[in-house]
Amino acid sequence: MFAITIREPGDPDVLEWSEVADPRPGPGEVLLDVAASAVNRADLLQRQGHYPPPPGASETIGLECSGTIAELGEGVTGWNVGDEVCALLAGGGYAEKAVVPAGQLLPVPAELDLITAAGLPEVACTVWANVVMHAKLAEDEVLLVHGGAGGIGTHAIQVGKALGAYVVVTAGSEDRLDRCRQLGADLAINYKEKDFVEVVKKEFGGADVILDNMGASYLGRNVDALRQDGRLVIIGMQGGVNGELNVGALLGKRASVFAAGLRFRPLDQKAAIVADVRERLWPLVSEGLVKPVIGQVVPMAEASTAHRALEEGSVFGKILLAAKS
């Protein structure tokens, strides 16, 4: 099979479409003929040499994919060869074939084509695990989403609205803010022109849940923007890893700070998240209340082009990599 390999850590040009050995499913795993994968910011870090896969995971980039089941490993039940699925991966998505633990498979939601479904697993599991399962966003609460124009952000807007929350987003251009509003955002803030803390406090008295992709650079301001009993959930480090935390402010608000990724969670935790997504989120997707937002589809062999586009911030929503042209 062919897969994207990394010649050496570096810029997008180090990505190469190369022939590699076919993977084989072990017990509890399935082999997929991949239709498409999707580009995530973690992929950029892995390409640069800063985010190696967990022990035992594929060295190939790619945290999600869609495809057709080609082979079942020992002990796998509930799935059949030929089923169309999408999957959460620890690695291996940028390839013509991928091995997936059966607990990380999801059926392609009704009304979605197989290629488009590749843009769902990572954002769906990330947003659902953090905003719903952990932070327990409730109806009429205020959800603040940083990076509203990205894959995570565009998904979080729709999930928040489907659950009856008020959704506030930040983004860096009026065009991107307008498109966030079209997805349902109640308030869209240009972070280059306004202080999101002041705006959120003025309009809503603060946020109940904040989904943050920035990390250190926003830590203090996010805590300041929380309401009483607020929950700050950190899922990214685009703004650095070391920040100052005002514990007194947290105590006074009875607030919490939680940080978690998906990739390094144990298999049983990932399976539990995927199961909850299938049970509670997938019906919203099938009903059209939550839709994947696809900004660009690129041939997988041209993954370097997709990486540049994500780094430049030129795409609204997800960038997909189609395995076959």
Is residue 325 scored above 90 in pLDDT?
no
Total domains present in the chain: 2
DSSP string, 26-75: -TTEEEEEEEEEE--HHHHHHHTTS-PPPTTS-SS--SEEEEEEEEE-TT
Where does the pLDDT of residue 112 fall: very low under 50, low under 70, confident under 90, or very high at 90 and above?
A: very high
Where does the pLDDT of residue 111 fall: very low under 50, low under 70, confident under 90, or very high at 90 and above?
A: confident
Where does the pLDDT of residue 324 fall: very low under 50, low under 70, confident under 90, or very high at 90 and above?
A: confident
Residues 198 and 302 in one domain: no
Instruction: Enter the tokens of residue 2.
Output: 């062919």
Residues 88 and 158 in one domain: no
What is the model's pLDDT at position 138? 98
Residues 80 and 95 in one domain: yes
Residues 254 and 313 in one domain: no
What is the model's pLDDT at position 47? 98
pLDDT average, residue stretch 98-109: 98
Q: What is the DSSP letter of 277?
A: I
Is residue 58 scored above 80 in pLDDT?
yes
N residues, the chain: 325
Residues 249 and 237 in one domain: yes
- In what helix (H) or strand (E) does residue 168 lie, and over which residues does it extend? strand 166-171
Is residue 131 scored above 90 in pLDDT?
yes
> What are the residues whose beta carbons fall under 8 Å from the beta carbon of 40, sequence distance 6 or more?
63, 64, 122, 151
pLDDT average, residue stretch 282-307: 97
What is the model's pLDDT at position 147? 94
Q: Which of 259, 290, 306 is the last residue of a domain?
A: 259
Residues 7 and 36 in one domain: yes
- Centre a 10 Å sphere on the Cβ of residue 279 and count the other Cβ atoms it contains: 9
What is the model's pLDDT at position 323? 96
Percent of the chain exceeding pLDDT 90 equals 95
Q: Which of 220, 238, 259 is the last residue of a domain?
A: 259
Residues 93 and 22 in one domain: yes
**Tens digits of per-residue pLDDT, 21-33?**
999 999 999 999 9
Contact 101, 271 (CB under 8 A): yes
Residues 197 and 116 in one domain: no
Residues 113 and 128 in one domain: no
Is residue 292 scored above 80 in pLDDT?
yes
Adjacent-strand bridge partners of 58? none
Residues 85 and 129 in one domain: no
The Cα 277–Cα 85 span in angstroms is: 14
> What are the residues whose beta carbons fall under 8 Å from the beta carbon of 3, sequence distance 6 or more?
17, 18, 20, 60, 94, 95, 96
Which structural domain range is residue 225 located in?
124-259
Residues 155 and 201 in one domain: yes
pLDDT average, residue stretch 60-81: 98
Percent of the chain exceeding pLDDT 70 equals 100
Residues 131 and 251 in one domain: yes
Predicted structure pTM score:
0.96
Q: Which of 230, 259, 288 is the last residue of a domain?
A: 259
Where does the pLDDT of residue 318 fall: very low under 50, low under 70, confident under 90, or very high at 90 and above?
A: very high
Instruction: Report the mean per-residue pLDDT for the chain.
Output: 96
What is the model's pLDDT at position 194? 96
Is residue 312 scored above 90 in pLDDT?
yes
> What are the residues whose beta carbons fall under 8 Å from the beta carbon of 92, sequence distance 6 or more?
23, 57, 58, 60, 62, 65, 98, 99
pLDDT average, residue stretch 83-107: 98
- CATH number for position 66: 3.90.180.10
Contact 145, 177 (CB under 8 A): no
- CATH number for position 132: 3.40.50.720
What is the model's pLDDT at position 40? 96
